[in-house]
A and B are shown apart, each in its own frame.
Chain A
Amino acid sequence: MEKRVTFRGWMLPLLLIAPQVVISAVFFFYPAGQAIWQSLFIPDPFGLSSQYVGLGNFDYLLSDPFYRASFLTTAVFSILVTLCSMVPALFLAVIADRLIKGSGVYRTLLIWPYAVAPAVAGVLWLFMFNTRVGVISWYLGTLGYDWNHVLNGSEAMGLVVVASAWGRISYNFLFFFAALQAVPRSVIEAAAIDGARFWRRFWTIVLPLLSPTTFFLLVVNVVYAFFETFGVIHTITAGGPQQSTTILVYKVFSDGFVGQDLGSSSAQSVILLFVVGLLTVIQFKFIEKRVHY
């Protein structure tokens, strides 16, 4: 889309656009280019020179069992985070939508966790499940269950999933609630007069009408789980035990900064770049759908 009316001159617009272009070039395009460039080299251990290896880093990565495991971990993690944040949110939104009065108060309370940074959420959940002082782990202990996410990989995964999904419930709730409010009342009325009970109406009318919102949220929650949960994982498990919670973004960090393996870290960045591109395309497609619905 273009404006019919435009102003003349080209010096001024170039000047106006310059700050954004310069910042994007210096802090975005140059580093992204560097990542692609470095992914083709292996630096020597002293960082004095580096050797061109073509796609060697990629070959090595894709045959590396740890990297493959990290892909699987990321998939499991994002699916679980998406489910654990969307199902409770939908449930709460459906209940809030039934209320004529008071839903505003609940909404105000429910959006709190969205404001809590993932890293802080991580600390809160770590505190509850801490093996020595955690309240929940202590009560689990009295019930005979020995909670130890420091040693047990699935417990660690469960904990980072819940801590990541927690703040996301608020976000999803807001979108589901808005979508529910937009469902035409007349349709619900008609079904109610025909004798359809609440849950029947929900499954046959409301849920299909929510599908654009649901698809949209599916995509943005996966993107969130991929890229914005670093803080949760770093505070709770630091990728452990035995890399069982090392998602792809965490591995870029741990190989690049902790392991100082720049070639491999850059190659991972490039692979993630493709993943982001793919997710963005999917996101735009679904958002298109949402608009046309």
Chain B
Amino acid sequence: MAREVHGMVEKRGAGLWLTHAFMIIGVLVIFFPIWLAFVASTVTQQDIIQPPMPVMPGDQFWINYKNALFSGVNVPVATMLFNSLVMAIGIAVGKIIISLLSAFAIVYFKFPGKMIFFWMIFLTLMLPVEVRIVPTYEVVAGFGMLNSYSGLIFPLIASATATFLFRQFFLTIPDELAEAARVDGARPMRFFWDIVVPMSRTNVAALFVILFIYGWNQYLWPLLITTDPEMNTIVMGIKQMFPSGDDFAHWPTIMATSILAMIPPVIVVVGMQRLFIRGLVDSEK
């Protein structure tokens, strides 16, 4: 590989160690907040409210996590985890399905009003939910979808990024395949299921990773529409665990919850790193 040659031009002895040293320092600095949160989730409240808190984990791991998962502050964290899971998967799967279908229609058909629909979908790229929260809230409230999974999911799948991604990809599928399918008398939906969907597998997986994290990490929208603690998602629920007055927050529980809130997306990102990076690059193109 060309990279090997690089090493030959310059001597790299002490320099290499220095490079590793810099890298390790960088990783440690970046990791510090997560480490500290983890430590805080394994010690007692006493250890924390008398600063400085320890920098090595204590022995309260099971107690704190059990307490967070099954009692929590307003609602058991297990409930919030479940809600987040439903929301994140619902957003990812919902968006992928509607986008696959509409991209297929846009690419493989000519029909009246096609360009109007195309631009309609294109426009939704531009406006994040944060900008239209008040009226969107009113719509969702009007449908009686406050404190419901559909209220959490639907407004967040109204955006066109995935449709565009699939459109770009479908355009690269060789015309011969569609030609052959047509000659064979295959119905369009048969072509969709047997050729288009299997060919899009990697794109679907990459997009799933990105959308799962997008859905999991939502904050403002669940904050507005889930007034019932039973429907809180974990990312917005953490803030609800802080007492409103001057009381001390129960830091070990809050930090255990923070760690629990980051585990699923971290597993997805680290475990599916290749797909994740591909999805990231694809969805920004």
- Which residues of A are interface residues toward B (Cβ below 8 A)? 1, 3-7, 9-10, 12-14, 16-17, 19-21, 23-32, 34-35, 38, 88, 91-92, 95-96, 98-100, 102, 106-121, 123-125, 127-128, 132-135, 138-139, 166, 169-171, 174-175, 178, 185-186, 188-189, 192-193, 198, 216, 220, 227-228, 230-231, 234-235, 249, 252-253, 256-257, 262, 265-266, 269, 272-273, 276-277, 280, 287
Contacts and interface: CB of A to CB of B under 8 A. Distances in A.
Contact of B189 (A12, A34, A111, A253): A12
Given A30-B139, A132-B248, A133-B48, A123 B134 contact: no
B2 A185 contact: yes
B269 A134 contact: no
B155 interface: yes
B277 to A, nearest CB: 6
13 contacts: A10-B109, A12-B188, A13-B114, A20-B121, A24-B158, A32-B135, A106-B23, A107-B273, A112-B266, A119-B235, A166-B33, A230-B130, A280-B126
B219 to A, nearest CB: 4
B20 interface: yes
B220 interface: yes
A28 B217 contact: no
Contact of A19 (B102, B108, B112, B138): B102
Contacts of B110: 6, 10
Contacts of B248: 132-133
Contacts of A7: 108-109, 178, 182, 188, 191
A228 B213 CA distance: 13
A82 B17 CA distance: 30
Interface in B30-57: 30-31, 33-34, 36-37, 40, 48-49, 51-53, 55
A119 B178 contact: no
A207 to B, nearest CB: 18
List 4 tightest A-B contacts by C-beta distance, closest first: A117-B217, A34-B135, A231-B219, A31-B135
Given A31-B132, A116-B266, A133-B251, 11 more contacts: A13-B109, A26-B139, A32-B135, A110-B27, A112-B34, A113-B30, A123-B258, A127-B254, A132-B51, A192-B10, A253-B130
A4 to B, nearest CB: 5
> Which secondary structure dominates where chain A touches chain B?
helix
Contacts of B106: 13, 17
Contacts of B97: 19
Interface of B: 2-7, 9-10, 16, 19-20, 22-23, 26-27, 30-31, 33-34, 36-37, 40, 48-49, 51-53, 55, 97-99, 101-102, 104-112, 114, 117, 120-121, 123-128, 130-140, 154-155, 157-160, 163, 171, 175, 178-179, 182, 188-189, 191, 213, 216-220, 223-224, 235-236, 238-239, 248, 251, 254-255, 258, 261-262, 265-266, 268-270, 273, 276-277, 280-281, 284-285
B130 A192 contact: no
A6 B109 contact: yes
Contacts of A216: 284
A177 to B, nearest CB: 10
A227 B238 contact: no
A281 B132 CA distance: 20
Given A14-B111, A235-B239, A24 B121 contact: yes
Given A115-B262, A123-B239, A171-B280, A128 B33 contact: yes
A135 B48 CA distance: 9
A1 B154 CA distance: 30
Contact of B117 (A17, A26, A112): A17
Given A3-B171, A20-B121, A128-B33, A269 B101 contact: no
A109 B19 contact: no
A120 B36 contact: no
Contacts of A266: 134-135
A9 to B, nearest CB: 7
Given A20-B163, A118-B217, A171-B280, A5 B182 contact: yes
A227 to B, nearest CB: 5
Nearest to B37: A124
Contacts of B218: 117
A177 B266 CA distance: 20
Contact of B269 (A19, A21, A115): A115
A100 B4 contact: yes
B125 to A, nearest CB: 7
B23 A120 contact: no
Given A20-B121, A110-B30, A231 B220 contact: yes
A256 B277 CA distance: 37
A116 B270 contact: no
B117 A21 contact: yes
Which residue among A91, A111, A118, A123 has the maximum number of chain B CB atoms within 10 Å of its CB? A123
